[in-house]
Amino acid sequence: MVIYGKYAIFNYYTNIGRPAKPDRKKKRIIMSIIRIEELIREEISNESNLYDFFKSRKASLPDGSMEIRNTAYGKYYFQKVRVNGSQTSVCLDPHNDFHRQIIRELMEKKTITHALPILKKNINAMERCIERIEPYHPSNYMFGNYLGSEFYLPDDVCLKDWIKKPENANPYRPEDRIHDTKRGILVRSKSEALISDILFDADVLYKNEPALEIGGRVIYPDIELIHPYTHRLLWWDHLGKIDDPVYIDDKFDRLLDYSRNGIILGVNLILTWETRTRPLTRRMVEQRLREFGLI
């Protein structure tokens, strides 16, 4: 019988079982909204940078504002400025290089003047949104993981469907799977067994060598796992012979395939590696788990 961690399935399906430690519970809340927050904070940063640039740029532009008058005789450009408390309009000749530059800068200033309050309003609205946002995921509710995929947000993992996904699906040399794991699944190397057992001890749901279709072909990552807080899929490949040039060339092509299809190292792809003289250690694996917020 294959099991997915001592408490993982029980907690996923009932939201009860082993009580979460206070720090893990807080982390679960933080990590579950980080996907939305990342997008909003990125937009806040972009619009704040643009706002600051516009304010600085506006201060360097000519005084006054632009007025364009369309008449029967053509289009006329005026720079409206205040002189001694009174507003004065100065006609600008678009055929004159100096005047043409003023026209261009005053038009830029008009655009900036219109944009600044919009950017400020957006920034304030997004900051309020972050303060008030509440994460949604079916697993936050009792028996939520019994629901089908139609109840899930795009890119969230429907556990009900994921559990049915076969593992050890790679047909290449199945006889090489000789190393046992705590879940009772055989894997190809001691290092893969080490990674599997550490994930098991951390109550992370994972599958060994599931089929993954990318770029019109099927590959078999060493491990596919569900992030316990963001509910997103991650993939884990272990490079067991990075001192072998032929091996590493093949793995480099695979990394390129990953990146072309949205599986990005450091984002949703975890890598570990070793050489003949420097084997993988528990400390290395646990460091990866900490980097990805898995423990």
Nearest by Cα to 30 from 229, 204, 226: 229
pLDDT tier for residue 9 given thresholds of 50, 70 and 90: very low
Q: Specify the DSSP element, H or E, that contains 186.
A: none
How, if at all, do strands 212-214 and 233-239 pair? unpaired
Buried-state track 264-289, b at ≥16 Cβ within 10 A, e below 16: eeeebbbbbbbeeeeebeeebbeebb
Residue 151's pLDDT is 67
Q: Please, is 189 exposed, middle or buried when counting C-beta atoms within 10 Å of its C-beta (0-12, 13-18, 19+)? A: middle
Residue 275's pLDDT is 92
Q: Which of 127-141, 160-174, 281-295 has the lowest mean pLDDT?
A: 127-141
pLDDT beyond 60 at 10: no
Using the structure block, give the residue that is written with the tokens 């509440």: 134
This prediction's pTM = 0.57
pLDDT beyond 80 at 230: no
pLDDT beyond 90 at 18: no
Residue 145's pLDDT is 58
CA dihedral sign, ordered 279, 281, 285, 290: negative
pLDDT beyond 70 at 166: yes
Q: Greater confidence, 1 or 166?
A: 166
CA dihedral sign, ordered 214, 218, 219, 225: positive
pLDDT beyond 60 at 7: no
Q: Which of 16-20, 50-54, 114-118, 196-200 has the lowest mean pLDDT?
A: 16-20
Q: What are the residue boundaries of the structural domains of the chain, listed by start? A: 165-291
pLDDT 10s digits, 46-57:
999 999 999 999
Residue 178's pLDDT is 95
> What is the arithmetic mean of pLDDT over 38-67?
91
Q: Please, is 224 exposed, middle or buried when counting C-beta atoms within 10 Å of its C-beta (0-12, 13-18, 19+)? A: buried
> What is the arithmetic mean of pLDDT over 73-87?
88
Q: Which CATH class is domain 165-291?
A: alpha beta
Q: Is 226 helix (H, G, I), strand (E, B) or coil?
A: strand
Percent of the chain residues past pLDDT 70, beyond the cut: 80
pLDDT beyond 80 at 226: yes
